[in-house]
Amino acid sequence: MSNLLLLLILLPAAAAGVCYFVRSSAVRNLTVLATGAILTLASLGLLSHGVFEPIEVGSILGIGSDFLVTVLDFALLGVIFFYGIKHKSILIQAFTAAQAVLLAWFEIVMVKHEAVPALAGDQLSLIMVLVISIIGSLICIFAIPYMKEHEEHLHLKKSRQPRFFFFLVLFLGAMNGLVLSNNVLWMYFFFEVTTLCSFMLIGHDATEIATRNSVRALWMNAMGGLAFVLGMMLVYMEAGTLNIAAILTSGNQTALMLTGLGFLCLAGFTKAAQVPFQSWLLGAMVAPTPVSALLHSSTMVKAGVFVVLRFAPAYAGSFLSTGVAVCGAFTFIACSALGVGQSNGKKILAYSTVANLGLIICCAGINTPLALTAAVMLILFHAISKSLLFLCVGTIEQAIGSRDIEDMRGLYARLPRTALITIIGILTMMLPPFGVLLGKWMAIEASADSNIFIVVMLAMGSALMVVFLARWAGSMMATREEGGRCESQPTLTRLPLLILCLGAVVLSIASPWIYNSLLAPWLGSAPFMVGFGSLESAHGTFVVVPLFLVLGLGLLYAVKAGSGYRKVKVMPPYLGGANSSVDGTYVGPMNGDVPFAAGNMYLGELFAEGKLTPVFNALAVALIVLMLGGAL
């Protein structure tokens, strides 16, 4: 078991070293492919083994594991501080120096350094390892042909791919280490590794905007790291242990303990880009698309929600728990509203990501078995659908030179395969009986046991999200032209897209059994019963398999009914009696022919990003202060 766990954590680090130091592109590509395959098999092997009690890791390469992590902690902080100096960021320097001083005091003076089992695995950890290892590996594989074309577009004299793949692959090992950690100090170390990796990847292209956004991401996440250290110190002062399993079962909810847990949640908020910290993740969209996909789906931001979820049992039933739920629900509705006014595909996905992360955090705050079920379901299915959509946007951008959804109008006529996969990905985000909608239904049902304000925010946020997702999908199908031949794509581009698309559908069909085998044992008090391919509870029944059967029959009927529509005469759009004699035009001013054009409404006056963001940020700060103040 120890060997399997270390493989999941250390193999990506070793593979990252190969990618960086061996400059052969063939060796690098083979290393990425082999690492992805091994991580996938290892994660499935860990799942087949099942949950396991916390285990100790004696030494790594002959060095005590706890001592090695401590040394690497300070080395990592030194690297981050160096970049703070390099980019002349006082905030990075201040937050990193404060972390180093507090961590030194904590390690030297406060901690007794008793033997703490370093790694543990419950159902939550196993699901996270699957998400990281499989989806993350597919994204890394997609990056192989993508980065080749990306660098050709930039006309680089010297390839930067060795450094790019170093941090991309290292990310996977850091995330596996974080979700498997049972020692708070280990979790903190991996938490900070993800901070450095994201900084390096966001600034990869070395343009002015990329550098500026990477620096912002670094100082915001360095602030989250400082909150983590403060929370860790306060929790240790009260609990007297670094053992996460012991902390979760202690039942200690003193003011000091809840304050420490509140700071840990604040660290999770920054990492998950919750309002008012969302700007770093929105800025990350300047990075190459595989970076965006990795950050938004299976790493980095999921580290934030994982921290909040991991410590949820320790603050259950407290005011802090309610505060976490309100903060998450507010982020959900705020970012759903901000997404309505966007036409940039990546920015739409970014706001959608932050909103859904807010929904997951809200579920952690509601903290009932039903809410926790919703949270884990959303983590799983959101990761699949969102990684698929980001990779689709990257593919479309390289094909048409734009990520604006207005430029994707009628995309099916030009790129039928990519357009169809993108539309399926969008549908899995917003329609029943797909997994993301199932998770949202569970979240709204769970919020009914909380308070009316959370119910309203979740319902309104869900409605707003449908607006901008449906608008995007409709635009791509808005064509009267017959779809051409499927576009040619490199195998390593097409394969991840097809696997993720198929996974989003097949796993949604299997969601009742996923719940029964993975989540029900973790929850103790299971809120659902599985019957006839449906999830049944006192709150209601979500019909999964029967609805998929109806959906399949409806699709077959639609295909048959529309099979002959190309043979009928295509009429121009009716323009209120003003059609001219030239197809596609209408009679305009001075009786001239004006071309007909279709476009979406973005309701800029109501959902203006520049006007709403400062207001939402101020409200979010007030809610966070109230959350931490209530813990005291």
pLDDT tens for each residue of 107-154: 999 988 778 888 998 899 999 999 999 999 999 999 999 999 988 888
pLDDT tens sequence across 389-448: 999 999 999 888 888 888 888 888 788 889 889 999 999 998 888 999 999 999 999 898
Enclosing H/E stretch for 535: strand 534-537
Is residue 116 assigned to a domain? yes
Do 321 and 207 belong to one domain? no
Do 334 and 213 belong to one domain? no
pLDDT tens sequence across 601-613: 777 777 888 889 9
Q: Give pLDDT, residue 569.
A: 63
Do 201 and 252 belong to one domain? yes
3-state secondary structure string, 461-493?
HHHHHHHHHHHHHHHHHCCCCCCCCCCCCCHHH
Q: Give pLDDT, residue 361.
A: 96
Q: Give pLDDT, residue 422.
A: 93
pLDDT at 573 over 60: yes
Is residue 554 assigned to a domain? no
Do 269 and 348 belong to one domain? no
Domain count, the chain: 2
Query: Where is the domain boundary, 294, 314, 334?
Result: 314
Do 303 and 327 belong to one domain? no
pLDDT band (50, 70, 90) for residue 15: very high
Do 188 and 198 belong to one domain? yes
Is residue 36 assigned to a domain? yes
Do 234 and 205 belong to one domain? yes
Is residue 546 assigned to a domain? no
Do 438 and 455 belong to one domain? yes
Do 60 and 178 belong to one domain? yes
pTM of this prediction? 0.93
Do 244 and 298 belong to one domain? yes
Residue 487 exposure: Cα atoms within 13 Å on the Cβ side: 20
Is residue 570 assigned to a domain? no
Do 290 and 382 belong to one domain? no
pLDDT tens sequence across 391-408: 999 999 988 888 888 888
Q: Give pLDDT, residue 575.
A: 65
pLDDT at 555 over 90: no
Is residue 513 assigned to a domain? yes
Query: Where is the domain boundary, 254, 289, 314?
Result: 314
Q: Give pLDDT, residue 57.
A: 81
Do 337 and 302 belong to one domain? no
CA 65, 69, 75, 80: dihedral to nearest 10 degrees?
A: 150
Question: What average pLDDT does the chain have?
Answer: 88
Q: Give pLDDT, residue 428.
A: 93
User: Collapsing DSSP states into helix, strand and coil, what is residue 135?
Assistant: helix
Range of the domain at 381: 316-524+595-632
Query: Where is the domain boundary, 284, 314, 344?
Result: 314
pLDDT tens sequence across 537-553: 877 788 888 888 988 88
Is residue 102 assigned to a domain? yes
pLDDT at 621 over 80: yes
Is residue 590 assigned to a domain? no
Contact 198, 62 (CB under 8 A): no
